[in-house]
Amino acid sequence: MTYYLGVDIGATKSHAMIADERGCVVGFGEAGPGNHEVVGYDGLQAALQAITAQALASAGITAAQIAGAGFGVAGYDWPSELEPTLEAVATLGLAAPVEIVNDTIIGLVAGAESGWGVAIVAGTSNNCWGWNAQHQIGRVTGNGSRFGEFGGSGELVEMATISVAKAWTRRGPGTALSDMFARYCGARSQADLLEGLSQGWYGIGAEAAPLVFQAAETGDAVALGVIRWAAAELASLATGVIRQIGLEQQQFDVVLVGSMYNGGLLLLEPLTEAVLAVAPGARFVRLLVPPVVGAVLLGMQVGGLDPRPRRQTLIDTAGLAVFARTATPQ
């Protein structure tokens, strides 16, 4: 029996998963952040070692039995970051071939039935990568607002906060978000809210994004406008990637990854409309399985095993493996 390793390194948590040649998940490991932008390359190495050791132990195998390994690494955006990432992976002692990609790609591979297309990440921040059937890569910078890439929940809340400030200074229309954000922070008034935000007494982060959707559902025009702005920004990421890899006239999956999509049709309708205007053959798929599934599929591919016949078995057993791990007292 041969085995395949998949690793998902994130900014808040990291996962490792091992499957056998049938696609059955046999091992799983979990730890905290491994993104080198958050914890450094030493932290990346520590996360890799911790989750891989857990996965190997739960599978009852050794690293020598791994035939292929796929790594989706948050923070791996540029060629200059490949060598230190490879050095961290090398500490695992794998003799198998490996493939290292940005973590957005493993979300794409996990969600797209064909294994290619475009993935739009909208979590705390945003990202968008894709590849076509020939694995030609398209991507955005992954560096967020510095390079004009928006659409995550943190950026949504930031834009909503700007709208609250504009309402208070009469530079913009009133909005229910003013009182909602004040209550959220425990502020005595809208003025106290803005003073507290400016002085650091209060904070409103990405976790407040559901308030924007709640206000929009009541018909608040400002909240609706902020959500439509986020949808347009996410669509612009996708359409840029689509143009880079020549998918405008093809049928392909657009995989939606992240908690922002919990906002439902208020976000999805303007987003899909804008993407379809450029690529009418796009099909939208919400990622409902752990992204690490995509890393295992990459591991199979680089290890010389066709992942397509194993994909559904892997998906079916992955959820059970993650549940069993999280339900067991540590």
- Note the pLDDT tens digit of each residue in 197-246: 999 999 999 999 999 999 999 999 999 999 999 999 999 999 999 999 99
* pLDDT value, residue 60: 97
* pLDDT value, residue 325: 54
Backbone phi and psi for residue 76, each to the nearest 5 degrees, phi listed first: -90, 95
- Two structure tokens written together for 241: 């990637």
- Two structure tokens written together for 118: 């475009």
How many beta carbons lie within 10 A of that of residue 214, not counting itself?
15
Contact of 304 with 26, CB cutoff 8 Å: no
At a CB cut-off of 8 Å and minimum separation 6, what does 208 contact? 157, 181, 184
Q: How far apart are CA 293 and CA 140, in angstroms?
A: 23
In the chain, which residues have pLDDT < 50? 323, 326-330
Residue 188 host element (H or E): none
* pLDDT value, residue 319: 76
State how far Cα 216 lies from the chain centre: 24
Contact of 295 with 2, CB cutoff 8 Å: no
Backbone phi and psi for residue 59, each to the nearest 5 degrees, phi listed first: -85, -20
Q: How far apart are CA 297 and CA 291, in angstroms?
A: 10
- Two structure tokens written together for 230: 């986020």
For β-strands 117-122 and 126-131, DSSP reports them as: antiparallel
Q: Which amino acid is at 29?
A: G
Q: How far apart are CA 21 and CA 4, in angstroms?
A: 7
Against a cut of 0.85, is the pTM above it?
yes
Contact of 63 with 28, CB cutoff 8 Å: no
Q: Side-chain half-sphere of 85: how many Cα atoms within 13 Å? A: 25
